[in-house]
Amino acid sequence: MKNRALNPGYAFALCYAAMVCLAIAVNLMPILLTTLRVDLGGRAGLTGEQLGRISAITFAGLVGGILFAGPLADRWGGKLFSVLGTLLIGIGLALLGISPSYSMVLVAVFVMGLGAGILDMVLSPIIAALQPDSRATALNWLHSFYGIGTVITVFLGTLAFRLGIGWRTISLIFIIVPLLVTLGFGPITLMLNCCWTSVVLFLLACFAPWHPVALAASVAVGLAGSCLWPTTLGVASDRFPRGGASMFGLLATFGNLGGILMPWLVGVTADRSSLRLGLATSTACPFLMAFVLLWIQRHPDVEFAQLGSALVTGTTADTPEFGGSDGTRTRTLQRERQAVNAAELHSRV
């Protein structure tokens, strides 16, 4: 099995870019407050308390993200939560970009704050682990990109207002940054986070007692799941480059089988219980897919090829059976099995 050389420069750049995303989540809203006061407050405008509540909800999400990610990141690793935090910031920006009301804005900034808190929690330990001999310097470099991100956010936001661009459009434009950062962490991790996020959003859309929250979750679940199909195609193409049209046809067939099964299953469940429970059965798809992706990650011998850099897996598949160019991987596995068999035979003798 060939090992791809670790590329710490790529890992550092990815963490620096994630810190810029954190800065966007925290510092974009203050630029928009004056416009929000007029657009969402009617003739009287939003009160000072309502404007202050927006920042308070943002930081409530940030604190929640820190508390949520802290104990779990030690167990499951920082990469998973780095992607999740960046993804939540992108979802929050999207919700902000389509917000029709003040309540939706509060939901959007909470989601952004949650993502910012998760990143704030996991980025520093990752950098410290990558640079154990000069952690203070490395961490100062990391947090300097929060300031850089703040300056960029304020400058571009102000410039956009001067050009006559509305606050919703500005929010949608800024989605580009967390989207690119999320893609940089690799396809399998991206898909896994999208699956878990879709499960949570599905349940929130079905059972949230507040209509704006349910509506926001319904929109966000579409955004969270939008990457799954094209990313699956990309991973399959990378893993099986000789698959051709037959492979894509097989993938499309199984994908559309879900279109046959799930609407019928939702309807049956809704008839026997309620529409909420019927729609909630849709969580079965991302839930099962998440476990498949976890299995792929934990079985490297049959793992899908990971794209990006050594930050993702550090290995590549290179057998002809799995889309590679030679039989190195197969021969390596065969030698390992032969060594194990020889050791067992020797122990018996």
Domains by residue range for the chain, with CATH: 8-185 (1.20.1250.20)
- The overall pTM is greater than 0.85: no
CB-based contact 84:118 (threshold 8 Å): yes
Residues 278-286 have a mean pLDDT of: 85
Is pLDDT at 194 greater than 90 in this prediction?
no
- Give the separation between CA 290 and CA 7, rounded to whole angstroms: 27
Per-residue CA distances from 219 to 19, 26, 96, 263 (Å): 26, 22, 11, 19
- Quote the tokens at residue 212: 């704006």
Which pLDDT score, from 0 to 100, does residue 56 have?
93
- Which residue type does 64 have? G
Residues 263-271 have a mean pLDDT of: 88
pLDDT, tens digit, 9 for 90 and up, residues 108-148: 999 999 999 999 888 888 888 888 888 888 888 888 999 99
Return the closest-CA partner of residue 36 out of 161, 222, 223. Answer: 161
CB-based contact 20:148 (threshold 8 Å): yes
SS3 321: helix
SS3 315: strand
Per-residue CA distances from 39 to 34, 36, 100, 159 (Å): 9, 5, 10, 19
Is pLDDT at 349 greater than 60 in this prediction?
no
Which pLDDT score, from 0 to 100, does residue 151 have?
92
Strand partners, 3: 315
Return the closest-CA partner of residue 307 out of 239, 248, 250. Answer: 239
Model confidence at 58, in pLDDT bands (50, 70, 90)? very high
- Give the separation between CA 111 and CA 89, rounded to whole angstroms: 7
How many Cβ atoms sit within 10 Å of the Cβ of residue 34? 13
CB-based contact 129:12 (threshold 8 Å): no
Strand partners, 315: 3
Is pLDDT at 1 greater than 70 in this prediction?
no
